[in-house]
Amino acid sequence: IHDLLQHLPRSSSVAIIDVDDLQKELFTDSGAGTLIRRGYKLINRNSLKEFGNPDLLRNALLRDPEIKAGKLSVASYLKHLETAEFRSYGDEPLEVLAIVLQNDKVPKLDKFLSSKTGWLNNVTDNIFNAIKKDFKSLCWIVNENDANLSWYFSKSDGSFAKNGEILFWYGLNTDEITSLIKEFEVSAIGSSLSSAKESGVFSTPQQKRGFHQSTTRFHPTSNPNPPLREGKNKEKRKVALIGARGYTGQNLIKLIDNHPYLEISHVSSRELEGQKLTGYNKDNIVYSNLQVEDIQKLEENNDVDVWVMALPNGVCKPFVDSIDIVKNPNSKIVDLSADYRFDTTGQWIYGLPELNDRSKIAQAKKISNPGCYATAAQVAIAPLKDYISGIPSIFGVSGYSGAGTKPSPKNDLKVLTNNLIPYSLTDHVHEREISSQLQTQVSFMPHVAQWFQGISHTINIPIKKGSLTSREIRNIFQERYQGEDLITISGEAPLVKDISGKHGVVIGGFAVSSQADRVVIVATIDNLLKGAATQCLQNINLSQGYGEYEGIPIEVVIRG
């Protein structure tokens, strides 16, 4: 059998079967016998001298669309490799050839050239696995029309799209990703990277490559409301937390404890009065039970810079009124309840930084913090507003922490175990909130599940028939949220278990129906963090002139 395979084309295989099973072997997908095929030995090289057969290398390079089009010659590329630090990977006949350049801080997959045979026999997977074993981090670019685009997504930790090209990476920390994207925005890595059906190609310019050398320029950011990353204020600010007993209050205390400028001056809880504030290490703080007259006095003495109302719906108005009476222009209020999300007086600003004018949030005296369900739903629907042709339907499922600390069937694990509880199936307050902010009617059906924290939305959005493809929709989202640290766009549908305990929102799926008249999008968010405490901290930072992401630990920001 060995000798036979050596003389057959590499794509051939030999099956050993019982004669009685011949029909099954010939006419079924599963076959009946033992299948033997010739394997692919992988070879890596660090110089051109190590290629034993120059003709094989030249033939592999001829798969490059730029070389096919005459924009780049094989000779000029080989000359470029003579002075470059690189490592190549390939099988013996070079059905697949990959070249990684090591000249920069982040290694770049410069070429990934595969024949149709290489794709069909999964040699591409073996080659990429070998690369990943040698390089703990890597970046590469693919044209958005590449026939094997989903394969590249599956190999990456993240991606960023611009002007028809997609930058991929794996193994990078947040700072490295930020730097890589900035360089990608200024200039492409190499020239336009085309793709043929038989290969995934990462082209190279005719000079020694570097981020700064390409003449391909990108347009300015398409995000109309970019983050306010740099703050001018470096002074300490005092925060008073009213209603600190709940899960959101606990998470906000933890964030403030690690914030370089914010300090807690007061925490108020009727149930915890007299107890020491746990989870806060900057000072020895004891819970008090502040009444409206106490708050008014603190406001008169200018003792508080930011008031955070972490109270149940319908409770905080007397406290807000006691602050209003003083007319102190210096303090700010952030309300975590739904009480002021529908304000029509103009006194309150809706604090969803990724969608609302950040400068207005920064200047506002009173900020209404959005709801958790509402935040994820809005960022998942807003970029498609111009294409919506009907009422979006939102199937939302939250962990039981969203039901609060007050005992109820919605946070009773005996009821929730192996269960999913629907509730408020029409006219939920978040349905009204989402519809009001998007200025388009939505349907929202909330459910609570047995996990503790994290929300998953499955959103069906009717769109104008034939108006958008899945790829185009994803591009719309990537462009709209470009530069947003707390929003990640993923090709796959995100999982709620991955968002739990993480800061941010992940949006993915982008499945378009066969009739091209609706898209289904999945969004996940931690209801206690970006759905509440993290978003509150963003609003506090903006209101106090700090960088918007100050105090949000980058190591636990979700990355798709």
By annotation, the residues acting in catalysis are 372
| SS3 label, residue 506 | strand
Residue 362 burial by Cβ neighbours in a 10 Å radius (0-12, 13-18, 19+): buried
Distance between CA atoms of residues 346 and 364, nearest Å: 10
Q: Are 317 and 295 in contact (CB under 8 A)?
A: no
Distance between CA atoms of residues 442 and 432, nearest Å: 8
Strands, DSSP E only, in 190-247?
237-242
Distance between CA atoms of residues 123 and 96, nearest Å: 7
Residue 377 contacts by C-beta under 8 Å, 6 or more apart in sequence?
Answer: 394, 396, 430, 434, 442, 444, 457, 459, 523
Phi, psi angle pair for 477, to nearest 5°? -70, -40
Number of H helices, E strands in the chain: 19, 22
Q: Are 529 and 369 in contact (CB under 8 A)?
A: no
H or E, element range at 213: none
Q: Scanning the structure block, which residue is given the tokens 């990537």?
A: 478
Distance between CA atoms of residues 115 and 118, nearest Å: 5
156: its two tokens: 């990456």
In this structure, what is the dihedral angle of CA atoms 161, 166, 171, 173, given to the nearest 10 degrees?
-30
Distance between CA atoms of residues 413 and 410, nearest Å: 8
Q: Are 455 and 524 in contact (CB under 8 A)?
A: yes
Q: In 3D, which of 166, 150, 61, 177 has the Cα closest to residue 114?
A: 61
Q: At what angle do helices 292-300 and 317-326 cross, to 10 degrees?
A: 30
Q: What angle do CA 31, 32, 36 make, to 5 degrees?
A: 80
Residue 124 contacts by C-beta under 8 Å, 6 or more apart in sequence?
Answer: 96, 112, 114, 118, 148, 151, 200
428: its two tokens: 């939920």
Tell me the β-bridge partners of 111: 99
Length, in residues, of the chain: 560
Distance, CA of 372 to chain centre: 17
Q: Are 529 and 149 in contact (CB under 8 A)?
A: no
Q: Scanning the structure block, which residue is given the tokens 């994207």?
A: 181
